[in-house]
Amino acid sequence: MFTYPFCYTPAPDIVEAAERMIRQIDNTPALRDRFAEGKMLGVLKVRLQDGGVDYLYAFSGLAGGESRVPGFVPPIFDLTDPEGHYRKTEARISALSAQLRERSDPALARERKALSVELQDWLFDHYIVHNARGEACSIREVFARKGLVPPGGTGDCAGPKLLEHAYRSGLEPLAMGEFWYGAPSGTEIRIQGRFYPSCAGKCGPLLGYMLEGLDVDPNPLAATPDPDYRILFEDDTLIVADKPSGMLCVPGKTGEASLQERLAAARPDEQVYACHRLDRDTSGIIVYAKTLEAQADIERQFQRRTTRKSYIARLSGGTEFEGPGRGLISLPIQLDYDDRPRRMVDFATGKPAETEYEILRRDPGGELLVRFVPRTGRTHQLRVHAAHRDGLARPILGDPLYGGNNRPGRLCLHAESLAFTHPRSGELLEFRSDNYDF
């Protein structure tokens, strides 16, 4: 089955093909210079018309300002022709922008806006893509069918380039992966050689169309989770549970039963309210309330940071970790609006996020067992702080969003302990769970 591009563990031969390309770039000065800025690359395994197998490569956007580089598939639509409509209209827009910087003129502003809209529409009408059934469609129409407008840059990512070239060449796509080469920018959470999912904003609808007609792996996030959860504590006010990995803690869009719904179904005469969140694939201790008053009290404790909590994580291996055995990571976090649900580090607009860490064990293969104690509670905070180059620079194993998808199975992150004050009695409650399998 073909790779589900939004959550996957790369096949071994895809990993080997990526390593070959990395070595080729490293050993070719011209290529190394082109990709020095850091770039997402893609590799596609295809079956040739004679029955043989080959590997195609692509890069996202431009490489050193060029859309065509030997050894990589061409763009779906080439915008770099200086005599083409795109470049000529772009030059007119730039000239208008220069005039507007010198003097304010509403007529010029309207003309520039109209040209920009016209060029964007023209562009996405000329990006024609195919699917495995042999059908063709413009990118604008692909998005319009879902009531959407394509974001800028749609069609320039590695994945769509690879599939389109395969279809136009009569080649059968077999497997795919997208990986990072080079040094990331300060906001990017990327590590050379690691694989990452296709972006949801630009590539979600587009790849959804282009994969039609292929037998694609099922979305692993839509798999039915193991309903085996444990109750650690319960009274007439609270439920403290040990959530398994792969189970939603609150109702989501997939229709699968969340832990909150399971708890409520088992207690038809009581209400169950969520007090905080754990990621779907994070296991461990979570608290629910049976009254709105108790829910509000627990939520206030989390907001005021009077709760105490810790997590256990296993981080990816590699070279020997040379950082200190314990410390504090402080990296502000912001939603990556073009690639939801990923987060990015943004020192300008990100929300402050701090995590204490302690390395509990260093395994021979380079993997680390780490305890995290978050001082703040941002979405994906531990996953980002583990993976970012200014954090521990090692993704959590099993984390496909941030480069830890080199091992199949669960996300190796577990909510190990939690302490808070009972909302009615005022008693300090402390819970611990060592129920993790990594």
DSSP 388: S
pLDDT of residue 117: 83
Closest CA to 191 of 391, 376, 434: 391
- Contact in structure between 375 and 354 (CB atoms under 8 Å): yes
Confidence check: pLDDT of 13 > 80:
yes
**CA 322/CA 185 separation, integer angstroms:** 22
pLDDT of residue 224: 61
DSSP 400: T
pLDDT in tens, 396-428: 999 989 998 766 678 999 999 999 999 999 999
Which backbone phi and psi does 166 adopt, to 5 degrees?
-65, -45
- Contact in structure between 140 and 121 (CB atoms under 8 Å): yes
Average pLDDT in the 46-62 region? 96
Average pLDDT in the 100-108 region? 89
DSSP string, 122-167: HHHHH-EEE-TTS-EEEHHHHHHTTT--PPTTTT-SHHHHHHHHHH
Mark residue 371 as left, alpha or beta (left: phi above 0; alpha: psi -120 to 50; beta: remaining): beta
Confidence check: pLDDT of 225 > 60:
no
Confidence check: pLDDT of 101 > 60:
yes
Mean pLDDT, rounded, of the chain: 92
Provide the CA 43 distance to its chain's centre, in angstroms. 18
Confidence check: pLDDT of 104 > 80:
yes
Closest CA to 238 of 313, 309, 298, 153: 298
Q: Are strands 368-374 and 308-315 parallel, antiparallel or unpaired?
A: antiparallel
DSSP string, 71-122: TSPPPSS----TTSHHHHHHHHHHHHHHHHHHS--HHHHHHHHHHHHHHHHH
pLDDT of residue 371: 98
Q: Are strands 136-138 and 172-181 parallel, antiparallel or unpaired?
A: unpaired
Q: How many CB atoms lie within 10 A of CB 18?
A: 24
Average pLDDT in the 2-16 region? 94
| Residue-range domains of the chain with CATH | 12-77+127-218 (no CATH), 222-432 (3.30.2350.10)
**CA 303/CA 135 separation, integer angstroms:** 52
More confident position, 430 or 150: 430
Partnered with residue 242 across adjacent β-strands are 230, 285
**Banded model confidence at residue 137, pLDDT cuts 50, 70, 90:** very high
Annotated active-site residue in 156, 242, 279, 399: 279
**Is 279 known to be catalytic?**
yes
- Contact in structure between 151 and 42 (CB atoms under 8 Å): no
More confident position, 252 or 310: 310
**CA 26/CA 36 separation, integer angstroms:** 10
